Amino acid sequence: MRRGRALGRTAVTAAVALGIGLSAVPAQARQQYEGRPPAPGIENCTATACHFDLPPGTYDVRVTLGGDLASSTAIGGETRRALLPETAVAAGERVVRSFTVNVRTPEGEPLGAEGTPGLDLTVGGTAPALAGIRVTPARHARQILLVGDSTVCDQPGDPYSGWGQRLPQYLRKGLSVANYADSGESTVSYLGNPLLWDTVRPLIRRGDLVLIQLAHNDKTTDGATYRAGLETLVAGVRERGGEPVLVTPVVRRWFNTDGTLNNNTALLVNGLGVDHPAVIRSVAADRDVPLIDLTARTKALVESLGVEGSKALYLFNEKRDNTHTSVHGATVYADLVREELLNLGLVPRGKVRVG
């Protein structure tokens, strides 16, 4: 027994020294020091980034922010995800913040590049000051899995950003975002590709939320097929014990001459006359599924900002793109999703940061 304890202590110490995760430590050591061992820390960081050699999984990250001077620090990670919003700390003070992060391969879009193995974090903000960091395997984290298209996904490069990429910053420790949205996908292609739905579905655990926003690429999908696809996704989530949440698509920035968005292009009515948001609302009502009406929320916001003011939400100035959002726009839309998750009672208020 004493020899086993010594081996466990040695294994944990070696893991920390090498900067590897506790899930890579022998099971004997993990059992004996469960909840108590030190974890990879600040020795794995530079002034602007941290890297931890961890296998895919879900991890809690606890950061200590602040320094001798006034500071303001934001934490990002993996494929350009926002993990902690910019946090101001007075000179000489320290604050502690925690969040939970999903580490997977591929680390961004399911059909994209594999990315860098392990957990990579970026230290940013207007005056960054990272005083300490601790990474440990998450024990009881609840997942929010995302099924969607390019307006949702972890976009690999500037200036693009999906709202799912910006959502993690609004969540506290114990809630992780696993973003399996992929560019160019429709309900038909998402269900038909074994690297997408067939891969995501087994990952759903009892109590997990699965947010589904697919419409932008269903341009040639007829109404019956579109409805059936949504119903298949809902049923698949429920069969795994998860809770499906249907999300109507973000609007396209396509104004009428009167300054409204009341046209098929803006409101996602396809060439066959299929009104995607209307079908989603109908399925949600018929199947008793929680609904986030992001079409209605984004329409109201874009119209309130007007033709000029709404340009910053999209990539109009950079790409003449009225569909894909900028980092700013994705952040604003992620905040709308945060509000709706709270309004619907889908997540506890104590697990959500106020925007």
Share of the chain above pLDDT 70, in %: 89
pLDDT in tens, 280-291: 999 999 999 999
Question: What is the C-alpha separation between 99 and 60, in angstroms, rounded?
Answer: 6
Q: In this predicted model, what pLDDT tens digit does every residue of 37-88 receive, in sequence order?
A: 456 899 999 999 999 999 999 999 999 999 999 999 999 999 999 999 999 9
Q: What is the 3-state secondary structure (H, E, C) of 13-76?
A: HHHHHHCECHHHCCHHHHHHCCCCCCCCCHHHECCCEEEEECCCEEEEEEEEECCCCCEEEEEE
For residue range 237-288, what is the model confidence (pLDDT) as tens digits?
999 999 999 999 999 999 999 999 999 999 999 999 999 999 999 999 999 9
